[in-house]
Chains A and B, each alone.
Chain A
Amino acid sequence: MMTRKKIFEKIIEAVIYASGTATTIVVLLIVFFLFREGLGLFRQAPMQKTYTVAVHPQNPVRQLSIDQLKAIFSKKEKNWKTFGGKDQSIETFSSEDIEKHLKGQDLGEAFSKLKGLVTTYAQNKENLVVVMPKKFMPNKFVPIPTEHMSIGAFFGGKEWRPTSEPIHSFGVLPIIAGTLLVCFGALLFAIPTAIIAAIYLVEIANKKVRNIINPFIELLAGIPSVIYGFFGLVVIVPFIQKTFALDMGETALAGSIILGIISLPTIITISEDAIRSVPRELKEASFALGANHLQTIFKVIVPYALSGIVSAAILGVGRTVGETMAVLMVTGNAAQMPSSFLDSVRVITSTVAAELGETAQGGIHYRALFMLACVLFILTFWFNLLAEWIVAKKTQK
């Protein structure tokens, strides 16, 4: 016969098992959803959903790639000959140009007269290319099939202009580069700082000092990152601007410092553990050879604990960059390829956070942001692997 206690234990066990399974499933579902939404990006053309491209029936060109369309509408290419057409200049007409081309004309209620007006305007313009919702396309114009957004254009593209018309640019290279740059800078800043702080706390400070500082560090970990963002904006950004005589202090450097500061409490705590885990015998062996405390710290303790500290830092920074809004506040958010720490950059999290609110659900911009979130997911995953690899490499030795 089962006692009541045993039954109770069985129930607890079942609950734990069920919640574990449920959590795993939820996590998998989140990842699945993320990727499903994101991958939809590559099944659409990078323009508004209902829009099509069309040319005059007398124009022999029947094929234009996304890049060629971009070049045409940004006026970089000006002659049809480049695309195998006649030697005549290219004229464009997208919904942006309605004001310009049909100035002062009555478009009717709900644009009911638009199609007619556009047709009149376009009829005899052999060199015209139109991008517009299908229902406003001028009569007889020949639609040109548009390519889907390509994976190469996403990962290799250097332009992130999600709202440029009529063709959007979703090149994430500058954003990924900005994210990595900010993370790398944060590591450069956080690792030495954490090592020094942790060494001080473990090896040098007496109990009394430790008991004052440790709660303080925990407190730092609990401060919302927005407040760090304010601190960055008010203190660090102006400081950088003055020090380097820049027009604008919102730079990758500011982001790195803020990111480093935010992740410091975690990194310090883990670093303390790493330093405490240095075997006592190893320290004693160093002292026994006549080394003083500082020599022991820098020649034995730090090298021994370093891999733990570095992996803690990678994990800390990798996590924080995916979570925090503070970076958004201090980096200036220019989606351009950075060439130094003094350039303004934009990171993935900032992009998603700032733009998602303005997008239509299921639209191409929305999907691009989801895809960007997938990239962040993979990046964080990769950070984790890197951190684990560093630890594994050490224990293997």
Chain B
Amino acid sequence: MSSQNSLSDQNLSLDETAKNMTSEAKIITRNLDFFYGDFQALKNINTQIDAHTVTALIGPSGCGKSTYLRVLNRMNDLIEGAKVKGEVLIDGQNIYDKKLDINELRKNVGMVFQKPTPFPKSIFENVAYGLRVNGMTENIKERVEKSLQQAALWNEVKDHLKKSALGLSGGQQQRLCIARTIAIQPDIILMDEPTSALDPISASQIEDLIMELKERFTIIIVTHNMQQARRVSDKTAFFYLGDLEEYDETPKIFESPASEKTQNYIRGKFG
């Protein structure tokens, strides 16, 4: 109990330092290099992502988009031989600091995967999972309901919350995963191609959802769908072979990109 309190105290002070920093920057990466063993997957990435914006990550397969995303919640820590160099600041705090509580970080930086990943539990328990493991068990029913509502899933599942989540459709499962993520009230939500495994209707439902969630969260989304990037994002980052080739306001990237590579990629994708 006491450790939990001290953790949240720490968070408070973190929030304050963030506010004092005058800048709106939620996430900053400085000279970020990333290695899988000897292979360098990210090269000197410098980004600043502001709070309550949607950032789209685009680029050909294997260019490092997922790697970048997974640097931000330290999911790459699970991979043997993975190594990070440079600085990654969230709210001004270096998340690769040795003293940082990694579970606390991940609670603050939610993640939605490409394939829906419901746990083999009931719909209710899927959403409650993050709450339970983080000790947020007060008003659990209300929290679950609210999250499902925010994820635009409540009306479809409210009558069978006890049924297995594995029985839901792909689109419903993905919205369930979003509900599960927002239930623990993170600041940041990372989405790795969240609609690429879904049919167009489910995909557009998720897109609408992203636009709504922007009010309350900072969202970073990897997508191969250029229309989607254009519709939902404020800023777009184009990765190419581990480099951040171009990073700018979304309209700028799509209408007058500075880099020829960006232009070719976007044109190829639209063409």
Contact = CB atoms under 8 A, between A and B. Distances in A.
Interface of A: 279, 281-292, 295, 299-300, 303-304, 394, 397
Contacts of A284: 75, 78, 111, 113, 117
Interface residues of B, number: 27
A289 B117 contact: no
Interface in B98-152: 103-104, 106-107, 110-111, 113, 115, 117, 119-121, 129-130, 132-134
Contacts of A288: 73, 75, 106, 110-111, 113, 181
A8 B28 CA distance: 67
Contacts of A285: 111, 113, 117, 119, 177
A287 B110 contact: no
Contacts of B184: 289-290
Contact of A289 (B104, B133, B167): B133
B161 interface: no
Contact of B106 (A289, A300, A303, A304): A289
B47 interface: no
A114 to B, nearest CB: 75
B67 interface: no
A285 to B, nearest CB: 4
Interface in B168-206: 177, 180-181, 184
A392 to B, nearest CB: 15
A146 to B, nearest CB: 59
B115 A281 contact: yes
Given A289-B133, A290-B130, A304 B104 contact: no
Interface centre among A282, A288, A303 (most CB of B within 10 A): A288
A397 B103 contact: no
Contacts of A295: 133
B113 A292 contact: no
A281 B110 contact: no
26 contacts: A281-B113, A281-B115, A283-B78, A284-B78, A284-B111, A285-B113, A285-B117, A286-B119, A286-B129, A287-B75, A287-B78, A288-B111, A288-B181, A289-B107, A289-B133, A289-B134, A290-B104, A290-B134, A291-B130, A295-B133, A299-B119, A303-B120, A303-B121, A304-B119, A397-B164, A397-B166
Interface of B: 73, 75, 78, 103-104, 106-107, 110-111, 113, 115, 117, 119-121, 129-130, 132-134, 164, 166-167, 177, 180-181, 184
Given A284-B75, A287-B106, 7 more contacts: A279-B117, A285-B119, A287-B78, A289-B134, A292-B133, A299-B133, A303-B121
Contacts of B166: 397
A291 B103 contact: yes
Given A285-B113, A300-B119, A397-B120, A291 B133 contact: yes
A142 to B, nearest CB: 71
Q: Classify the secondary structure of B's interface with A.
A: helix
| Leading 8 A-B pairs by shortest Cβ distance | A290-B107, A289-B130, A288-B111, A291-B133, A285-B117, A290-B103, A281-B117, A290-B106
Nearest to B109: A288
Nearest to B164: A397
A282 B167 contact: no
Interface centre among A282, A290, A295, A397 (most CB of B within 10 A): A290
Contacts of A291: 103, 129-130, 133
Contact of B103 (A292, A303, A304): A292
B140 to A, nearest CB: 14
A216 B129 CA distance: 37
Contacts of A397: 120, 164, 166-167
Contacts of B130: 289-291
Given A284-B78, A299-B129, A289 B115 contact: no
A49 to B, nearest CB: 59
Contacts of B129: 286, 289, 291, 299
Contacts of B134: 289-290
B10 to A, nearest CB: 15
Nearest to B132: A299
Nearest to B190: A288
A329 B75 CA distance: 53
Contacts of A286: 119, 129, 133
B133 to A, nearest CB: 4
A292 B3 CA distance: 15
Nearest to A304: B120
A290 B130 CA distance: 7
Contacts of B120: 303-304, 394, 397
Contact of B110 (A289, A292, A304): A289
A282 B103 contact: no
B148 to A, nearest CB: 16
Given A285-B177, A397-B166, A397-B167, A290 B117 contact: no
Given A279-B117, A282-B119, A304-B120, A289 B164 contact: no
A130 to B, nearest CB: 69
Nearest to B74: A287
Contacts of B132: 299
